[in-house]
């Protein structure tokens, strides 16, 4: 298949592009390149792609494409809180526009990178399935719910949107993000000797390795249409349904000499959900099959090794690999305008 991969220069896209290529697909990227230089280790070999803002795409960008994997977004809660209007413009309106253009161009499958944070304040210890009520508590999560609703309305006999609700990612990517919980805790532990938890440690935070997300998308791309058409799937594994305190313990075991410090200064986090991941595993049985390969502990060890090998610095940790800090710095330097478009 010829696959348009938006967000191919992000944390997940950089891991996903080679997985898709290895599966025999022709990958075409599309990214504004906001974090293209946020590299730890060797620069990745990106597929050919369009350097364009999602809000400015045209029918040309989707012409001749068989499937779209749509990752590009302002990708977390702090970014959403910084600029809720921009989050809705990029994450919601531009995503729906992309889907319409794709459908008009005859694209048959549209895999959308949603998130388990659509469950928001699910609370409790029960497993949350895909049919559970959606209770987003941030503009970021709300933008994902709106896209799911609008893409659902576009589904028809020829166009199959699929809602991939990813757990919180972890693991090494050449385009690192240090602002997601496991990656953050490992980096902090290496740099300071402390696994620093600012919440009270009790929220459930299901995790999934970036490479397992990539394999899940690759599986959904070729699964029989009836298995995935217009369906939502939680992406992750029950093994990695962990509390923040448990994640911290795993990190302390992976980084020798580090000790867990739970300050609780940010209080209880309303985002707490424990997720049921069976639907995707079951849906893939008739197709390529899928199960996650990475545990939290393996991911912590992998990251600690990668951070040591490539020389993670405090500057990298706090600025280069923290999405909000990168965009703030670009804005202050005047390289992007107030709408986060590059100034020419
Ligand atoms: N990483 C996670 O834990 C996680 C979990 C659940 C869902 N997701 C979703 O997966 C997707 C990818 O996440 P990620 O961690 O790789 O994020 P990321 O921030 O590393 O990558 C996002 C990419 O989108 C691009 N982008 C942003 N705004 C754009 C615009 N206006 N035009 C063109 N490109 C633009 C950025 O340049 C970047 O390369 C996102 O949609 C995110 O919401 C991520």
Q: Does pLDDT of 344 surpass 80? A: no
Residue nearest to atom 28 of ligand 1 (CA): 73
Name, in order, each residue with C-beta under 8 angstroms of 93's C-beta and a sequence gap of 6 or more: 55
Which range is least confidently modeled, 92-101, 203-212, 216-225, 267-276? 267-276
Q: How far apart are CA 126 and CA 82, in angstroms?
A: 32
Instruction: Report the C-alpha dihedral over residues 128, 92, 31, 71, rounded to 10 degrees.
Output: 10
Angle between helices 181-192 and 296-310 (to 10 degrees): 50
Ligand 1 mutation target, pool 8, 9, 10, most atoms within 8 A of CB: 10
Percent of the chain with pLDDT over 70: 99
Ligand 1 pocket check for 143: Cβ under 6 Å: no
Average pLDDT, the chain: 94
Residue 180 CA, closest ligand 1 atom number: 3
Give the C-alpha separation, 195 to 181, whole Å: 11
Q: Is the CB of 32 under 6 A from ligand 1?
A: yes
Model confidence pLDDT, tens digit, residues 284-316? 998 778 999 999 999 999 999 999 999 999 999
d(CA 175, CA 51): 17
Question: pLDDT value at position 120?
Answer: 85
Q: Phi, psi (5° rounding) for residue 279?
A: -60, -45
Which residues fall within 8 angstroms of residue 57, CB to CB, at 6 or more apart?
30, 50, 94, 97, 98, 101
What pLDDT, on a 0 to 100 scale, did the predictor assign at position 21?
A: 98
Q: What is the pLDDT of residue 122?
A: 67
Atom of ligand 1 nearest to the CA of 94: 31
Is residue 167 within 8 A of residue 216, CB to CB? The reply is no
Residue pLDDT, tens place only, 50-90: 999 999 999 999 999 999 999 999 988 777 677 889 999 99
Quick check: 198 pLDDT over 70?
yes
Which protein residue's CA is at the shortest distance from atom 42 of ligand 1? 75
- Answer yes or no: pTM beyond 0.85: yes
Q: Report the distance separating Cα 113 and Cα 126, nearest Å.
A: 24
Expressed in angstroms and rounded, the spacing between residue 339 Cα and the centre of ligand 1 is 16
Domains of the chain in start order, with CATH, are: 2-333 (3.40.50.720)
Q: Would the CB of 55 count as within 6 Å of ligand 1?
A: yes
| Predicted confidence (pLDDT) per residue in 126-160, tens digit | 899 999 999 998 889 999 999 999 999 999 999 99
């Amino acid at each position: 298949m010829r696959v348009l991969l938006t967000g191919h220069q992000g944390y997940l896209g950089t891991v996903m592009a080679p997985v898709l290529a290895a599966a025999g697909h022709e990958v075409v990227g599309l990214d504004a390149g906001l974090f293209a230089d946020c590299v730890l280790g060797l620069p990745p070999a990106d597929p050919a792609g369009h350097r364009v803002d999602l809000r400015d795409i045209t029918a040309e960008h989707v012409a001749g494409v068989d499937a779209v994997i749509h990752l590009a977004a302002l990708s977390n809660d702090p970014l959403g809180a910084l600029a809720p209007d921009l989050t809705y413009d990029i994450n919601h309106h531009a995503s729906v526009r992309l889907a319409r253009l794709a459908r008009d161009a005859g694209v048959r499958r549209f895999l959308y990178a949603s998130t388990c944070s659509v469950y928001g304040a699910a609370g409790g210890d029960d497993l949350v399935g895909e049919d559970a009520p959606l209770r987003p508590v941030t503009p970021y999560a709300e933008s994902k719910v709106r896209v799911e609703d609008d893409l659902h309305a576009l589904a028809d006999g020829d166009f199959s949107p699929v809602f991939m609700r990813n757990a919180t990612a972890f693991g090494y990517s050449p385009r690192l993000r240090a602002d997601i919980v496991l990656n953050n805790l490992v980096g902090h532990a290496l740099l300071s000797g402390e696994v620093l938890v600012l919440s009270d440690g009790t929220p459930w935070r299901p995790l999934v390795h970036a490479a397992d997300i990539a394999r899940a998308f690759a599986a959904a791309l070729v699964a029989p249409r009836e298995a995935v058409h217009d369906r939502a799937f939680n992406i992750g594994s029950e093994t990695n349904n962990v509390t923040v305190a448990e994640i911290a313990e795993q990190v302390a075991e992976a980084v020798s000499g580090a000790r867990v410090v739970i300050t609780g200064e940010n209080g209880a986090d309303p985002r707490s959900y424990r997720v049921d991941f069976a639907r995707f595993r079951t849906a893939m049985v008739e197709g390529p099959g899928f199960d996650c390969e990475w545990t939290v502990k393996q991911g912590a060890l992998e990251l600690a090794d990668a951070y040591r090998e490539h020389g993670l610095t405090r500057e990298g940790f706090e600025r280069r690999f923290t999405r909000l800090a990168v965009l703030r710095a670009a804005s202050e330097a005047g390289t992007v305008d107030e709408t986060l478009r590059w100034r020419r």
